[in-house]
Structure 1
């Protein structure tokens, strides 16, 4: 299997080199480029076609939020936003821009490596605490047109897909869902792919928020 191709964007040379050193300890990851601005990151991603981008937020010329929005719109790269600031507005802006994950720069090295693999595999990357922040911030109240649309999409799901979605929203990973429902992990992944396609959702993070919005889990 080919290693996961990664581009790192950060305007601080020491952090840039440190992130590269950490990721290159894993033979399953290849850092194919580094950028110092959001604009450089965009050009590099178009040129090198990485699977994953580690994106700093505060950079000159173009910040990481704007660069993330551009890349999500125009490329297939998955974006993990990295920051030293544990600020809710950065989190929400990053996810609005289409980021697949959000990590603080003090994340343990092994967690950073795991995050790259997880996002490359198509999974969203948020802790349960962060997901709860999103649910509290984003769940529409009172009922809105967005709720009505969500209910229409919900009725497209099979009973088994609903079970997988509910378990996912409860914070379970694929292995735990498989054990709970008596399925193989491969079958869980198939159900997850199907329900994401039917509901027009991008990843597990959006699926969890969707489940809360339609009342599958409180």
Structure 2
């Protein structure tokens, strides 16, 4: 069964270009292209859409607000496609439920893989986007390079703090297990405990929480 996708971008060249690119892959059914977030939300409320590709800066309703409404009202999974100058939106988009945050200048195969990853219940946060959080480039945030300084460390074990720090550095479970000399299953158990204590939903939010102290 094909993954049902819509594309929301106020730039017709980007919108139609993305449609042409994604139509070259057999995995996708491009249901519609729309010009703003409001149209994206309305479409998804009346159609079964698996993944919505959302630009950040759009008239009437931007991609962040559209993400919030899509997650509240529909089962559609938002994937933010952005540019380098949209740093200030990163935290809000993820807190509102964006399943992925990807730069528009990626190769078509990378965007295809991101859509499939999100569809299968996982999350995508491109390294360069996470690096912006680490560097404190999000508007209104102080430098987060030290990491972990803004969280309540007393509620976590030392091992959990170690794992949170390594997640924030972008390491996968296997890499964390190797670095800490523990099993993959133990890492997974610690992550489950961290999610339970924080009320967060996935490892991307753990990374952001560790770096900035921000959580839903």
Same fold (TM over 0.5): yes
After superposition, the Cα gap between the structure-2 partners of 1:133 and 1:182, relative to the gap in structure 1 and judged at 3 Å, is: same
Aligned counterpart, 1:206: 205
* RMSD after superposition: 3.5
Give me the whole-angstrom Cα distance separating, in 2, the residues matched to 1:30 and 1:193: 34
Q: What SS does structure 1 have at the residue aligned with 2:121? A: coil
- How far residue 17 of structure 1 moved from its aligned partner, in angstroms, is 1.9
After superposition, the Cα gap between the structure-2 partners of 1:30 and 1:58, relative to the gap in structure 1 and judged at 3 Å, is: same
Aligned counterpart, 1:60: 59
Aligned counterpart, 1:171: 170
Aligned counterpart, 1:106: 105
Q: Is the 8 A contact 2:101 2:129 kept in 1?
A: no
Give me the whole-angstrom Cα distance separating, in 2, the residues matched to 1:24 and 1:177: 37
Give me the whole-angstrom Cα distance separating, in 2, the residues matched to 1:117 and 1:18: 19
- How far residue 177 of structure 1 moved from its aligned partner, in angstroms, is 4.8
Give me the whole-angstrom Cα distance separating, in 1, the residues matched to 2:42 and 2:131: 35
Aligned counterpart, 1:6: 5
Farther-moved stretch of structure 1 (9-18 vs 92-101): 92-101
The total of aligned residue pairs comes to: 203
Give me the whole-angstrom Cα distance separating, in 2, the residues matched to 1:96 and 1:163: 23
Superposed counterparts of 1:120-135, under 5 Å: 120-135=119-134
1:147 aligns to 2:151 (yes or no)? yes
Give me the whole-angstrom Cα distance separating, in 1, the residues matched to 2:15 and 2:164: 37
Q: Is the 8 A contact 1:100 1:203 kept in 2?
A: no
Q: What SS does structure 2 have at the residue aligned with 1:46? A: helix
Q: What SS does structure 2 have at the residue aligned with 1:103? A: strand
Higher helix fraction (1 or 2): 1
- How far residue 175 of structure 1 moved from its aligned partner, in angstroms, is 5.2
Q: Is the 8 A contact 1:65 1:93 kept in 2?
A: yes
Q: Is the 8 A contact 2:94 2:205 kept in 1?
A: no
Aligned counterpart, 1:89: 88
After superposition, the Cα gap between the structure-2 partners of 1:102 and 1:182, relative to the gap in structure 1 and judged at 3 Å, is: same
Structure 2 residue ranges without an equivalent (≥5): none
Structure 1 residue ranges without an equivalent (≥5): none
Farther-moved stretch of structure 1 (84-93 vs 32-41): 84-93
After superposition, the Cα gap between the structure-2 partners of 1:190 and 1:117, relative to the gap in structure 1 and judged at 3 Å, is: farther
Give me the whole-angstrom Cα distance separating, in 2, the residues matched to 1:57 and 1:101: 12
